Every structure is written in C-alpha cells, then in structure tokens.
C-alpha cells in the first residue's frame, strides 16, 4: 500500500508542476509543438 501511495503522490506532484504534460508530449512523438504548452 505504501508503494502505491508513493506512486500516486509522485504522479500528482508531476501533474501539478506541469511536468507530466511536457514529458508526455516530448516522448509521445507527437507532431504538436511542446513549446506552445510551456
């Protein structure tokens, strides 16, 4: 249960900091420009 909670906290902190969207767009090989997001 502790590992799941730690994973959730990590995911939520990345989402709150905006890193999740940037990394998803960067490594998803999307044709959209990630500079428009930041």
- Domain spans of the chain? 2-36
H/E element, 2: helix 2-17
Global pTM?
0.44
3-class DSSP state for residue 36? helix
Cβ proximity of 32 and 25 under 8 Å: yes
Q: What is the pLDDT of residues 1-38, one digit of tens each?
A: 888 888 888 888 877 777 777 777 777 765 666 565 55
pLDDT of residue 33: 60
Dihedral sign for Cα 30, 35, 36, 38, please: positive
Cα angle 18-20-21, degrees, rounded to a multiple of 5: 75
């Amino acid at each position: 249960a502790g590992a799941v909670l730690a994973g959730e906290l990590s995911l939520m902190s990345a989402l709150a900091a905006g890193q999740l969207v940037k990394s998803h767009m960067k490594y998803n090989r999307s044709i959209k420009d990630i500079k428009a997001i930041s």
